[in-house]
Structure 1
Amino acid sequence: MKKHQITALIIDDERYSRDELRHLIEDDHSIDVVGEGDSGEAAIVKAIQLKPDVIFLDVEMPQMNGIDTAKAINSLKDPPLIVFATAYPEFAVEAFRYGAIDYLLKPFEEERIKETITRLEDRLTKANHEKDATPSPKKLAIESEDGIVYIDPNEIIFAYRDDRMTKIVGKVFEYETKTPLKDFEVRLKDYRFFRIHKSYLVNLRDVKKLVPWFNGAYQLELHGHKETLSVSRNYVKALRTKLEI
């Protein structure tokens, strides 16, 4: 059985044209025709159901023409690529305006089909690489007796150790867990968190003001939190280095 990389949908109101195009593009091992249709309405329904990589779309069709169909398809979430396949060259400019990747003219030529397939492969390969390069969002897992809560690290203002529990404080939440504070310090090291005291870890994004206290220590004001936190004098210099330009 062939392994196909690109899934395609063929939309044309003429059965002969669909058969011819199917034969030409399935002759290439990278194309798998997963469906056909004879109208713009069918194109939209099948695009939603089958989620093809590309639609080969005729322009002149009854009721809903190819241009209007392309407009509708482009409004879908993650729309497929569109290749117009038609006997009418005069619609090319308008077709490319709606994101067509190519414009094939009938009667179809084998070499021209190969050029289109190469263009599709290049576009889809690039899109897949960009998708793979996008890092997935990471959540901080906080385990408690009630279960595991997942939160965005950027929503945390500070964390601190209180007796045998670690408390995680945000603008609209507070969670507690038996997980040691030092574990969170390691897990949050890439999110601009900094230890200001043996018992406190703060999000540098939320630092508002340093207020002198006594014996070289400071009090720290944070956005989104009314109470000040104590900054040990052993951490003041390093904290200012992290904060200041």
Structure 2
Amino acid sequence: MDKIKIILADDERYSREELRHLLSEYTCIEIADEADNGEGAVMKALKHQPHAVFLDVEMPKMNGMEAAKSLMELKKPPLIIFATAYPQFAAEAFRYEAIDYLLKPYDEEQLKRTVQRIQRLVQPAGSDIGSALPAKLAIETEGEIFYLDPKDILYIYRDEKATKVVTKNESYYTKTLLKDLEAKLAPFRFFRIHKSYLVNLEYAAKLTPWFNGAYQLELTGTKEVLGVSRNYVKALRERLEIH
């Protein structure tokens, strides 16, 4: 199987070394090169044609956002993952179709989910990563396993004891954690609108202001109205709207 080529771009050498070390645990990953500024990241992406680039936000010469914009214009744009100490840029990051936004110091579980997301989105030549992508989502409940088409899922909700998967016709309860389902559904148009809700954006129909900066989201196919946390509103709009 061909490895997934990655470029790391960060002006802090220690941060690059830490991320390189954490990624070395994954045999599917190959660090093709490193850069200490945004301009270098773009130049090395032209040279190596990586599958993904990890970008810091604050870098000299060309910052991470500017670099992401340039990378998106390449003939074969890589996946963009922002890795930074600045949480306030998260909403802006999704303008550049970033697949994830990692905060320093790195959380190993979050990085694991990022790698899984990359694996599901990338299809390196000669590998079976793409062909291995399951066509159906397996949901185990009360000893039975149901196979669901992700396109039929409206939203997924987590309470204290179980996860509820709501489809066009049925609802299913499972012990599988929401974060694990989110990682499995990464190749599809699912988006976290609240710490407890994951929504299929294909069914988004109406977004209405609620209170304290929060919104309510109406979905086609259900009468239930879902609350959108104010921390997710800006990023949600960026994902939904044509620019």
Question: Structure 2 length as normaliser, TM-score?
Answer: 0.50
The aligned amino acid for 1:113 is: L
For the 8 Å contact 1:4–1:32, the answer to whether it is kept is no
CA–CA distance in 2 between the matches of 1:14 and 1:27? 21
The reply on whether 1:70 has 2:51 as its aligned counterpart is: no
The aligned amino acid for 2:109 is: E
Counterpart secondary structure, 1:69: helix
The aligned amino acid for 2:29 is: I
Deviations 1:208-240 (A, max 9, x none): xxxxxxxxxxxxxxxxxxxxxxxxxxxxxxxxx
CA–CA distance in 1 between the matches of 2:97 and 2:60? 22
1:49 paired residue number: 47
Cα drift, residue 22 of structure 1: 0.3
1:80 paired residue number: 78
CA–CA distance in 1 between the matches of 2:67 and 2:123? 25
1:165 paired residue number: none
Q: Runs of 4+ in structure 1 displaced over 4 angstroms? A: 125-129
CA–CA distance in 2 between the matches of 1:110 and 1:101? 17
Cα drift, residue 63 of structure 1: 2.4
1:91 paired residue number: 89
Q: Which of 16, 19, 30 is equivalent to 2:17?
A: 19
For the 8 Å contact 1:83–1:103, the answer to whether it is kept is yes
For the 8 Å contact 2:55–2:81, the answer to whether it is kept is yes
Q: Which of 97, 100, 103 is equivalent to 2:98?
A: 100
The aligned amino acid for 1:86 is: T
CA–CA distance in 1 between the matches of 2:122 and 2:13? 28
Cα drift, residue 125 of structure 1: 4.2
> Hey, which of these two has a bigger chunk of helix by percent?
1
Percent identity, aligned pairs only, is: 52
1:58 paired residue number: 56
1:9 paired residue number: 7
Cα drift, residue 83 of structure 1: 0.4
Stretches of structure 2 that go unaligned for 5 or more consecutive residues are 132-243
Report matched runs for 1:194-213 at 5 Å. none
1:37 paired residue number: 35
For the 8 Å contact 1:4–1:29, the answer to whether it is kept is no
Cα drift, residue 126 of structure 1: 10
For the 8 Å contact 2:3–2:124, the answer to whether it is kept is no
Root-mean-square deviation over aligned CA pairs: 2.4
CA–CA distance in 1 between the matches of 2:87 and 2:59? 15
Deviations 1:83-121 (A, max 9, x none): 000000000111011110100000011111100000011
For the 8 Å contact 1:4–1:31, the answer to whether it is kept is no
Counterpart secondary structure, 2:53: strand
Counterpart secondary structure, 1:111: helix
Counterpart secondary structure, 1:16: helix
Counterpart secondary structure, 1:7: strand
Counterpart secondary structure, 1:83: strand
Stretches of structure 1 that go unaligned for 5 or more consecutive residues are 133-245
CA–CA distance in 2 between the matches of 1:25 and 1:19? 10
1:122 paired residue number: 120
CA–CA distance in 2 between the matches of 1:85 and 1:77? 24
For the 8 Å contact 1:35–1:46, the answer to whether it is kept is yes
Question: Structure 1 length as normaliser, TM-score?
Answer: 0.50
Q: Which of 92, 103, 110 is equivalent to 2:108?
A: 110
Cα drift, residue 124 of structure 1: 1.2
CA–CA distance in 1 between the matches of 2:58 and 2:50? 22
Report matched runs for 1:138-177 at 5 Å. none
CA–CA distance in 1 between the matches of 2:124 and 2:95? 21
For the 8 Å contact 1:59–1:67, the answer to whether it is kept is yes
Return the index of the structure with the highest Cα Rg. 1
CA–CA distance in 2 between the matches of 1:80 and 1:34? 13
The aligned amino acid for 2:12 is: E
For the 8 Å contact 2:4–2:124, the answer to whether it is kept is no
